Every structure is written in structure tokens, then in C-alpha cells.
Amino acid sequence: MTKNPDIQRRRIWRGRLFKQLFPALPNVISLLVAQGEITAAGLEAFKNWSHGLGQSAADELREAYRNGYSARRELLSALESALSTPVDQEDIYVLSERIDHILIEAKNLLREAEVLGWKPDSFAASMADRLASGTNDVVEGLRGLGKSGKEAGVQADAASQAIHHLERDYREAMVGLLERDNLREVIASQDIYRRYLNVSEAVMSVADRLWYAVLRGA
């Protein structure tokens, strides 16, 4: 049976009009998770650099930093056009900002280490392991936003636990400096170890805001 062409044209016209009046809403949670995944990849590269893998790992971290910046800009653009979001827009904005700060701190650490000619040691490797683990945890938590507040909270707690262990590693690293005789090496190591702590604080700030978003949405 042949369909009436006039009816077909009206249906097409109505469909186009509907799309113009009600454009598809951007999936801001997916964009936030995508930014988080780029950050996690950057922290994996940072971990590899801290384990002594050198320039290739450093280059991967810098690339992740650039990609993370682009992902954040895309998310902010989507937030501007979104009529509504499954999670409060302020929480999404702050989470994106704090995720971006993780890569900023890691990149700053790398740059200072290169300027000082400092090479990662076993303490650095251990702290970087915690940072990569904690970042993966918060990314998993982001995936739970708008779905399961409980799961997002569990992942935020896991990230907090990873950072708690890092603080212990940091104290051990600082104590270990007392056994070194090279004053220049000691001073440089103190500065870099503190920067590892700065990265951990950036990860922790994401975990804290993740819990806040969970509680506000409960």
C-alpha cells in the first residue's frame, strides 16, 4: 500500500520542527567522565614517569594535560546549552575544575623536577601509585553520578583511603632525607615530595566534592 506523500512530508516537517525547538540535550555526565578518564590516563603516565620511564611518560602526561583542557572546554560549552542536568550544574562545574587541577599539579611537579635535574626514587614511585589509584577511584565515582549515589560515595571513600596511605609515604620519604649527605639533593627532594602532596590534595578535593554532590542529590 502506497503511503500518502503529503502525510509523509508533514511528518518530516514536524520532525524537523521538533528538533529545532527541542534540540538533543548534551550528556554532561558523559563529558565529565571523559575529562576524568583523560586525567586518569595522565596520572598513569605520571606514575610511569615516577617509576623511571623517562621522557616518553613525561610527554604522555603533557599530552593528557592538553587533552584535559580541551575536554573541560567542551564540558563548559555543554553546560551553557543544557536546559537541565541530572546533577546540579554547580557541582559539575566544580568537579570539572578540580579534576583539571590534578593534571595541573602533576605537570607542575614534572616541570620543577626537570628544572632541578631531579630523578624519581622509590618514595616518588610509591606516592605516584597512590595518586593513580585515587584518580581511578574518583573517575569511577563520576560514572555513578546521577545513577547510584551509594556507588559514587564508595569510590570517593576509596580515593580518600589511597590519599591517606600517600600521606604516610610522604612522611617516610621526608624522614629518609635525614640519611642523605648531599644538601642540594635533600633540598630538591623536599620540594618535589611536597609537590606530590599537592597532587594528592587535588585528588582529595575531587573526592570531597563528589561526596557533596552525592549528599545534595540524595
Mean pLDDT of the residues in the chain: 88
> Is the confidence at residue 132, as pLDDT, over 90?
yes
Is 96 domain-assigned?
A: yes
> Is the confidence at residue 13, as pLDDT, over 60?
no
How many of the other CB atoms lie within 10 Å of CB of 65? Answer: 21
Is 168 domain-assigned?
A: yes
Which pTM value belongs to this model? 0.84
For residue 83, what pLDDT band results from cuts at 50, 70 and 90? Answer: low
Is 16 domain-assigned?
A: no
Separation between Cα atoms, residue 6 and residue 90, nearest integer Å: 47
CB 32 within 8 A of CB 89: no
Is 19 domain-assigned?
A: no
- What's the grid cell of residue 216? 545534595
Separation between Cα atoms, residue 155 and residue 211, nearest integer Å: 9
Is 147 domain-assigned?
A: yes
Is 11 domain-assigned?
A: no
**How much is the average pLDDT of 80-106?**
89
Residue type, 169: D
Number of separate domains in the chain: 1
> Is the confidence at residue 19, as pLDDT, over 50?
no
Asked which of 81-85, 102-106, 114-118 is least confident by mean pLDDT, the reply is 81-85
For residue 138, what pLDDT band results from cuts at 50, 70 and 90? Answer: very high
* Domain extent for 113: 24-217
CB 202 within 8 A of CB 105: yes
CB 75 within 8 A of CB 35: yes
Is 18 domain-assigned?
A: no
The end-to-end CA distance of the chain, in Å, is: 53
For residue 23, what pLDDT band results from cuts at 50, 70 and 90? Answer: very low
> Is the confidence at residue 18, as pLDDT, over 50?
no
Is 17 domain-assigned?
A: no
Q: What CATH number is attached to the domain comprising 183? A: 1.20.58.220
- What's the grid cell of residue 126? 610509591
Separation between Cα atoms, residue 35 and residue 67, nearest integer Å: 8
Separation between Cα atoms, residue 58 and residue 120, nearest integer Å: 12
